[in-house]
């Protein structure tokens, strides 16, 4: 799988939002999607304080072959940059997506009005794949959100599917390390559940430990049924053989 970078710029102080996504070096202008999100969670709305990000625009159709918006699997850094000319700030979030099939990264405000703790909450989203995706290296992904000066926030929190990262003072920078294992080389290795012991004689490089996979897992053993095949692009499916080896895997 080819490893690419995906970047989006979204300006939300005005009602008409503008996003610019860069995918593998090619750029295109488009609006961040505001379709119904998984689980029915609405985008932020209601009364907005001066200088705050505004709610996304009305629902727009998905592009052909483009999946619905989902939180990216992990946020790895948040940075707030302050302009020296007009005092406005730019929020920069970096994270990881499970494959290069994710498009149009953007930051969605989920804070309404002025929060009691003074922290602006943002959801780090992108349009997920429209269907299952084979395992491969995670893709670096980032999005920007300019905010006009005079906003009432003293900090920023970025939420992804599996973690959240806070910046308590702005401007500033905070980061966390990425996962130990993206499972891109899991096939053929032995899966070891939490609290279990690895098979005797198997070297460490031949083992995949559950604690090193900090996202939603669906483990399918030879005797297991599948109660639901509802899609979740941040869920890793691992199909095991009778001796516990991973014989098939994918994000779905």
- Do residues 129 and 99 make contact, with C-beta atoms less than 8 angstroms apart? yes
Quote the pTM value. Answer: 0.75
Domain count, the chain: 2
Q: What gap in Å lies between CA 109 and CA 53, rounded to an integer?
A: 7
Measured in whole angstroms, the distance separating CA 233 from the mean position of its chain's CA atoms is 10
Query: Are 194 and 167 within one domain?
Result: no
Query: Are 117 and 156 within one domain?
Result: yes
Residues in the chain: 252
Query: Are 211 and 167 within one domain?
Result: no
Query: Are 198 and 158 within one domain?
Result: no
Query: Are 25 and 134 within one domain?
Result: yes
Residue 200 sits in a domain whose CATH number is 3.30.10
Domain extent, residue 238, equals 190-251
Of 99, 147, 107, the residue nearest 21 (C-alpha): 107
Query: Are 145 and 195 within one domain?
Result: no
- At residue 28 the predicted structure's pLDDT band, cuts being 50, 70 and 90, is very low
Residues 12-25: tens digit of each pLDDT: 433 333 333 332 33
Mean pLDDT confidence for 84-111: 94
According to the model, what pLDDT value does residue 66 have?
A: 76
Residues whose CB is less than 8 angstroms from the CB of residue 236 and which lie 6 or more positions away in sequence, other chains included: 98, 135, 183, 213, 215, 216, 217, 218, 249, 250, 251
> Between these two residues, 76 and 111, which has the higher pLDDT value?
76
Mean pLDDT confidence for 127-150: 94
Residue 40: count of CB within 10 angstroms of its CB: 6
């Amino acid at each position: 799988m080819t490893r690419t970078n995906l970047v989006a710029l979204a300006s939300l102080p005005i009602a008409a939002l503008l996003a610019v996504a860069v995918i593998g070096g090619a750029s295109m202008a488009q609006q961040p999607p505001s379709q119904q999100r998984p689980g029915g969670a609405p985008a932020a709305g209601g009364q907005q304080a001066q200088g705050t990000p505004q709610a996304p625009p009305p629902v727009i159709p998905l592009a052909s072959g483009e999946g619905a918006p989902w939180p990216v699997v992990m946020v790895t850094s948040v940075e707030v940059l302050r302009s020296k000319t007009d005092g406005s700030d730019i929020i920069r979030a970096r994270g990881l997506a499970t494959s290069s099939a994710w498009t149009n990264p953007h930051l969605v405000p989920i804070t309404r009005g002025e929060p009691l703790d003074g922290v602006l909450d943002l959801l780090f989203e992108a349009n997920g794949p429209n269907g299952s995706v084979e395992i491969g290296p995670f893709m670096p992904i980032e999005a920007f959100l300019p905010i006009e000066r005079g906003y009432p926030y003293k900090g920023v929190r970025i939420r992804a599917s599996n973690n959240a990262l806070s910046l308590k003072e702005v401007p500033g920078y905070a980061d966390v390390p990425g996962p130990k294992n993206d499972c891109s080389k899991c096939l053929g290795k032995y899966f070891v559940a939490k609290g279990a012991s690895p098979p005797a004689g198997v070297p460490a490089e031949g083992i995949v430990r559950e604690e090193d996979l900090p996202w939603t897992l669906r483990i399918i053993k030879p005797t297991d049924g599948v109660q639901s095949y509802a899609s979740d692009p941040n869920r890793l499916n691992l199909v095991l053989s009778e001796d516990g080896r991973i014989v098939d895997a994918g994000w779905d």
